[in-house]
Structure 1
């Protein structure tokens, strides 16, 4: 009987230790919660801008809406996989960097799949596309660069001009794209909300000027 009680006790303690270990791992790896986002080290006085446009008429301005939707999307912790979807937008738990932008805009009333496809047909000479495909064209960085050059407000490419970078802006690198966070490092440079690969630890990172690629575009959807 004593041996049985001891065995049961060992099993219970083992389960509790395993549960605690998993919880600790989860907190350390997935600490991108709303609480941790509030731990902003920047102590300056940059005022977050608000757009005068509320495109989807949901009571939230575009700038805030895009930021909120980007945070909500990466909060689902999408896994990285670059594949073709007949639906255009990924319909599973996977995605790539462009899907962060596409989902942020879709939740704000802007359907990039439709908008990019329309712009490609209206300005084919600006896109290096032989045969347009609405299901994938809006998920390519080079196409988004052209589209935003046509339709969005172009802003500074210098991360050190910190007051010119606002949460909800879009940044395009040579082979990457993301949304600017409202969280800033101690120098006032904002974090980057992005999706760069299967082993990416956090989706909101102090990477704006550290990403290994040149910034070639910085855009705001509306004023």
Structure 2
């Protein structure tokens, strides 16, 4: 049986399109690549260029993992967060939490509470649950550690050793690592964001 040429072309293009990775799979891959870099946990305030500024490559905190992963996909969270904060400053916790009266391109995007506001405004805020299946590749999770330390990480396509939970790329003190820590801390936020 002979297929018309247009049908063969359609089938080839369709199979190529379905085999292409989604944005969220690419974000997971970008996060996994970051685990190869040796990074010392360092929350120090650093003056950085704007846009596309970054702290030194060998330093960082949890937010820097997210910022660097998105940057590998062409999204500059420093710029995106700054622009939204500049237009909507009162919606962000800066005045109340840090006493700031204006934006600061050096640090605003590196604060978990600001990222939570940004992702809920510009992305999709997802349900928080105790079911590991509710957390999908490329999503973002925020936690409150010991009721005082905000934290963020990226859900990857890698599974825990028992196969029950997605593993997370984050930096809670040991550098940019892949860990089975989804339910290790109190989850306070769950988001999905692509530009």
TM-score bin, normalised by smaller chain: 0.7 to 0.9
With structure 1 as the length reference, what TM-score do the two structures score?
0.66
RMSD: 2.1
Q: CA contact under 8 A between 1:67 and 1:179: conserved in structure 2? A: yes
Report the equivalent of 1:109. Answer: 74
Report the equivalent of 2:164. Answer: 188
Q: Gapped runs of 5+ residues in structure 1?
A: 1-51, 53-58
TM alignment of 1:39-188, pairs within 5 A: 60-87=21-48, 88-129=53-94, 130-160=101-131, 162-174=132-144, 175-185=150-160, 186=162, 188=164
> What displacement does 1:82 show?
1.0
Counterpart of 2:116 in 1: which secondary structure? Answer: helix
Q: CA contact under 8 A between 1:180 and 1:192: conserved in structure 2? A: yes
Counterpart of 1:182 in 2: which secondary structure? Answer: strand
**Which of 205, 208, 211 is the aligned partner of 2:179?**
205
With structure 2 as the length reference, what TM-score do the two structures score?
0.75
Distance 1:76-1:113 versus aligned 2 partners, 3 A rule = same
> What displacement does 1:221 show?
1.5
Residues 139-190 of structure 1, C-alpha deviation per residue, up to 9 Å, x if partnerless?
A: 0011001000101112121141x33211211111131000012122326221
Q: Gapped runs of 5+ residues in structure 2?
A: 1-16, 95-100, 145-149
Q: CA contact under 8 A between 1:74 and 1:100: conserved in structure 2? A: no
Counterpart of 1:176 in 2: which secondary structure? Answer: strand
Q: Which of 1 and 2 has greater Rg?
A: 1
Structure having the higher strand fraction is 2
